[in-house]
Structures are given as C-alpha cells and as structure tokens.
Chain A
Amino acid sequence: EAQVTQNPRYLITVTGKKLTVTCSQNMNHEYMSWYRQDPGLGLRQIYYSMNVEVTDKGDVPEGYKVSRKEKRNFPLILESPSPNQTSLYFCASKAGDLYNSPLHFGNGTRLTVT
C-alpha cells in the first residue's frame, strides 16, 4: 500500500531534550516536506526536499533540522525542543515535477513539549 509513515504518532518530551520524528514513503517520490498544524493557523511548511541531499527552508524553519540521505526517508530533528513547538506535525511527499501530482500526507505526529 502506497503510504507515508510517520513515527511516533504521539510524543511527550521536556524542554531541551533532542528528538527525531521519522518519516518514510514507499512511492519513490522525489519531493518531501514537513508541515505543522496549529489551531487557527492551518498548515505551515517547515522544510522541504526536492530530492536526495537537497533540502531548503519553508515558512517556519526556526528550531528544526532535516536531512535527506535516502530518497524514502526525511526525518525531522528538534535539537532543543521548546514549548512553542508543541504542535501536530505532518510529513508529506509527492512525485517531483508533475503539475498536479497530489501531496500525500502521513497520519501525523502529535508532539507536546513541557
């Protein structure tokens, strides 16, 4: 089954403790991206990757890092999480250059930072 898999689904952590949210897709997609969803703010892009070893900032990249060493994986790293990073996070992927290639989302990771 074609899918984007995120882990974990739920995560509670404390301020300053480094964490990684994993994302993997099995559709051989070139493009991957991370979004955060907050009440009243919708979905905002954190980082994106056009292909392996190519990453760039989205609209809200502060406090996050990503890497794209393999085509299928795109982990999101929070080096020193803070309470304002409490949010619902979505990883997404799509085929690279197709005009209306749909963005496929994972089921989300709900992160709470205390």
Chain B
Amino acid sequence: GENVEQHPSTLSVQEGDSAVIKCTYSDSASNYFPWYKQELGKGPQLIIDIRSNVGEKKDQRIAVTLNKTAKHFSLHITETQPEDSAVYFCAASIWETGANSKLTFGKGITLSVRP
C-alpha cells in the first residue's frame, strides 16, 4: 500500500521567514495530494491540494509543488505569521470513481513561528 513520509518532524522559523515542509510517497499511482492543518484541539482542515497533472499550485501565502518523477511534494508558506503555528499533515490518495479514495497521511510536522 501507499506509504507517505514527512520530514522534518518539527520546524521552527522566525516570523516573516518562509517554511518548507517536504513529503515523499511510494505509490506511483497516487494522483491526489492534499495538505491539512491541525490547530490545537481541532480536527485537521484542508488548506491546499494538488492533482498529479499539475506541478504547482498557489493560494496567497501558501503553495504546493509536486515532482511525480521523484515522488515528492512540498508545502511552501511565505511570510509566516504566528497563526501559522500548527501541525501540518501531507497525504496521498489514488482517486477512482466509486472507490474508497482513502487518504494515507504522513506523521505530521509541528511548525512553530517565533514572533
């Protein structure tokens, strides 16, 4: 089955700097890659996602890049703010009509933004 590795496990940055979180996946058939943010006491929330037919996607201060050949994808957060402090999960899935599009999650990374 799919295996998603996420690294590093913790990341601390100064407010205003950029943060990059990297994930690798094992199943070349995976075609959907979402990123989730989990704040303390809450469930994960989707912040951005990318399909396998796209190399990069941006949404304001957040971007995701995908390298299918190397089987890795990354989350980029620019101009970090204290409210970006949270646990971030990457995930991968094989989307098929009518099937369980199960997300396989990485172990999560705790991002701390120092004021």
**Chain A interface (Cβ within 8 Å of chain B)?**
4, 31, 33, 40-45, 48, 50, 56, 58-59, 90, 92, 97, 99-100, 102-103, 105-108
Residues of B within 8 A of A106 (CB): 43
Give A43 to B98 CA distance when docked, in angstroms: 23
CB distance from A27 to the nearest CB of B (A): 14
- Which residue from A48, A92, A97 sits with its C-beta under 8 Å from B97? A97
Q: Are A41 and B41 in contact (CB under 8 A)?
A: no
**Chain B interface (Cβ within 8 Å of chain A)?**
1, 6, 32, 34, 41-46, 49, 51, 89, 95, 97-98, 100-103, 105-108
CB distance from B71 to the nearest CB of A (A): 18
Query: Provided the pairs A105-B45, A108-B42 are in contact, do residues A99 and B51 lie with their beta carbons within 8 angstroms?
Result: yes
Query: Provided the pairs A97-B97, A100-B32, A102-B49 are in contact, do residues A48 and B42 lie with their beta carbons within 8 angstroms?
Result: no
Q: Are A102 and B34 in contact (CB under 8 A)?
A: yes
What's the count of A-B pairs with C-beta under 8 Å?
55
B41 to A, closest residue via Cβ: A107
Give A33 to B43 CA distance when docked, in angstroms: 13
7 contacts between A and B (CB under 8 A): A45-B102, A50-B98, A90-B43, A97-B97, A102-B34, A107-B41, A108-B43
Give A77 to B107 CA distance when docked, in angstroms: 25
Q: Are B107 and A41 in contact (CB under 8 A)?
A: yes
Residues of B within 8 A of A103 (CB): 34, 46, 103
B97 to A, closest residue via Cβ: A97
Residues of A within 8 A of B105 (CB): 42-44
CB distance from B107 to the nearest CB of A (A): 4
Q: Are A43 and B41 in contact (CB under 8 A)?
A: no
Residues of A within 8 A of B32 (CB): 99-100
Q: Are A58 and B43 in contact (CB under 8 A)?
A: no
